[in-house]
């Protein structure tokens, strides 16, 4: 397999050819490198060596249980946002004490399951949620560990749909209301205040937004302590961007991010919690697809492939760039062609790239989309009644299918013809 190395940008050859996976598993298929996943986790975790930290991998980025297990074996915790993600993390062997629960809309059933799992902390995002959690905890005779997610009103830059830390976003407790929220929580018997949480967005390609958010939270922690709250945890969320190629900016290296965090939180005496998702999974995976047809349009060449927007939504949703590469090396004298790369779905938005320069391709050729390990399979759907794309993990010279392609019969199994009363 060929994959994109997070740190160097080099392409490496691994021992399982993508053409073999395509022949044996079929396309489209996600292919992950366990070695790259492990390396990314270590690069991130190593940049905080010596600090009291919990690296809670953000399950939403790639929630395959085998991916979670790979990271669990390195000591990763998990950041979950639903009962489903909680179940996945537990099945993968991530202990409750290493799980943090984020999200604006936790249900009482999800709170109950998370309390039963004895999770590390609930990142609470509103006062109504706080009171619901208090009631669920009291009904079990326990206290729920809580950090409020605060909204620092800091712009993370990047795409507006994945920016979360501005006051107009739905996330977190408004900055001016934070101290009152802590006072309210302190009076609730089912709540134990443990820390402060912030997460300002995703694919952040500069250190300045992190610096602005951390500085604000460090000030808040000081004020909360003055008010008598015991704050011993600071969760700074995820968001560190990755190189996607094209003309995207190169994000900061994890080591530089680590140095910033160390500098700004020195002497704070807290456990630092991180929720990286994309940084670990993004460049550990590719989407492998086959060219179905090359169609000559009026003024362009269309590459019609067997992957579609339901399999990899990012280009359609965010106009996101993914590097595309043919699996077989082109002949050296072949002049490149500009292709619009599209899928079979009945929407014009089912377009992966426009006027993308590639070597000449024909039906049956294989291509890969790079940087597809995060928010790829996890955001896939069955739109147009297409089976969910399978996932494969490569380790050394072996690979394993870690999610099968459902049959059409399996896909339709949960639907019912209504048995109306007469
Ligand atoms: C609360 C929270 N934590 C962590 C993440 C992971 O972000 P990223 O994949 O950018 O590291 C997200 C997604 O933006 C999030 O909403
Ligand atoms: N789904 C987004 C990231 C959202 C992060 C979740 N808060 C992406 O593909 O870039």
Cα 389 to averaged position of ligand 1 atoms, centre (Å): 23
Same domain for 293 and 345? Answer: yes
Ligand 1 atom with the shortest distance to the CA of 281: 9
The answer to whether residues 295 and 339 belong to one domain is: yes
What is the Å distance from ligand 2's center to 61 Cα? 7
Backbone angles phi, psi at 337, to 5 degrees: -125, 150
pTM for the structure as a whole:
0.95
Please check whether residues 174 and 310 belong to one and the same domain: no
Domain-embedded: residue 77? no
**Positive or negative, the Cα torsion across 305, 307, 309, 312?**
negative
| Binding site membership of 203 for ligand 2 (Cβ less than 6 Å) | yes
- Residue-wise pLDDT for 210-225, tens only, equals 999 999 999 999 999 9
| Co-location of 295 and 264 in the same domain | no
Query: Which domain CATH number covers 301?
Result: 2.40.37.10
Is 314 annotated as belonging to a binding site?
yes
Q: How far is CA 190 from CA 19, 164, 277, 340, 356, in A?
A: 56, 28, 31, 56, 56
Which residues span the domain enclosing 136? 103-274
| 22: its two tokens | 């395509």
Ligand nearest to the CA of 317: 2
* pLDDT tens digits along 310-367: 999 999 999 999 999 999 877 778 899 999 999 999 998 999 999 999 999 999 999 9
Q: Which residue has the tokens 């809670």?
A: 56
Q: Is the pLDDT of residue 5 over 70?
A: no
Same domain, 234 and 310: no
What ipTM did this prediction achieve?
A: 0.98
Do residue 253 and residue 373 come from a single domain?
no
Token duo for residue 101: 């629960």
Ligand 2 midpoint to CA 162 (Å): 6
Q: Are 101 and 114 in contact (CB under 8 A)?
A: yes
Contacts of 369 (CB under 8 A, 6+ apart): 286, 287, 289, 307, 312, 322, 323, 324, 352
- Residue 57 located in a structural domain: no
Q: Which residues contact 106 (CB under 8 A, 6 or more apart)?
A: 114, 122, 129, 132, 133
| 84 domain-assigned | no
111 & 247 share domain: yes
Burial 207-246 (b: 16+ CB within 10 A, else e): bebbebbbebbbebbeebeeeebebbbbbbbbbbbbbbbe
How many alpha carbons fall within 13 Å on the CB side of residue 275? 29
Within-domain flag for 30 = no
Does residue 346 have an active-site annotation?
yes
Give the end of a domain, one of 274, 309, 328.
274
Instruction: Indicate which ligand has the atom closest to the C-alpha of 248.
Output: 2
CA distances from 94 to 80, 89, 199, 216 (A): 11, 5, 22, 31
* 112 shares a domain with 175: yes
Q: Report the pLDDT value the prediction gives residue 271, as an integer from 0 to 100.
A: 98
Which of 13, 346, 409, 417 is flagged as catalytic?
A: 346
């Amino acid at each position: 397999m060929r994959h994109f190395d997070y740190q160097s940008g080099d392409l490496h050859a691994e021992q399982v050819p993508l053409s073999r996976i395509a022949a044996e598993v079929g396309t489209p298929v996600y292919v992950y490198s366990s070695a790259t996943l492990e390396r990314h986790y270590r690069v991130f975790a190593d940049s905080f060596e010596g600090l009291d930290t919990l690296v809670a991998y953000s399950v939403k980025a790639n929630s395959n249980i085998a991916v979670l297990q790979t990271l669990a074996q390195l000591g990763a915790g998990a950041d979950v946002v639903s009962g489903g993600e909680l179940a996945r993390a537990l099945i993968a062997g991530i202990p409750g004490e290493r799980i943090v629960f984020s999200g604006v809309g936790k249900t009482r059933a999800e709170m109950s399951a998370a309390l039963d799992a004895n999770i590390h902390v609930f990142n609470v995002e509103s006062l109504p949620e706080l009171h619901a959690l208090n009631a669920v905890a009291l009904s079990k005779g326990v206290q729920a560990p809580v950090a409020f997610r605060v909204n620092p009103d800091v712009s993370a830059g990047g795409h507006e749909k994945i920016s979360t830390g501005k006051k107009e976003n739905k996330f977190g407790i408004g900055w001016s209301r934070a101290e009152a929220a802590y006072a309210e929580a302190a009076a609730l018997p089912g709540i134990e205040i443990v820390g402060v949480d912030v997460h300002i967005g995703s694919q952040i390609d500069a250190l300045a937004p992190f610096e602005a958010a951390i500085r604000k939270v460090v000030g808040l922690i000081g004020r909360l302590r003055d008010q008598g709250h015991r704050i011993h945890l600071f969760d700074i969320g995820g968001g560190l961007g990755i190189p996607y190629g094209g003309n995207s900016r190169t994000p900061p290296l994890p080591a530089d991010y680590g140095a910033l965090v160390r500098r700004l939180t020195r002497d704070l005496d807290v456990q630092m919690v991180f929720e990286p998702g994309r940084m670990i999974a993004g460049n550990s995976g590719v989407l492998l697809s086959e060219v179905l047809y090359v169609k000559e349009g009026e003024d362009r060449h269309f590459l019609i492939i067997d992957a579609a927007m339901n399999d990899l939504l990012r280009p359609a949703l965010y106009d996101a760039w993914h590097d595309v590469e043919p699996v077989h090396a082109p002949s050296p004298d072949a002049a490149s062609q500009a292709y619009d790369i599209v899928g079979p779905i009945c929407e014009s938005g089912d377009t992966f790239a426009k006027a993308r320069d590639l070597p000449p391709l024909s039906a049956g050729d294989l291509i890969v989309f790079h940087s597809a390990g995060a928010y790829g399979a996890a955001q896939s759907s069955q739109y147009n009644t297409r089976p969910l794309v399978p996932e494969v993990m490569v380790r050394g010279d072996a690979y394993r299918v870690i999610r099968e392609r459902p049959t059409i019969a399996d896909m339709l199994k949960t639907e019912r013809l209504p048995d109306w009363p007469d």
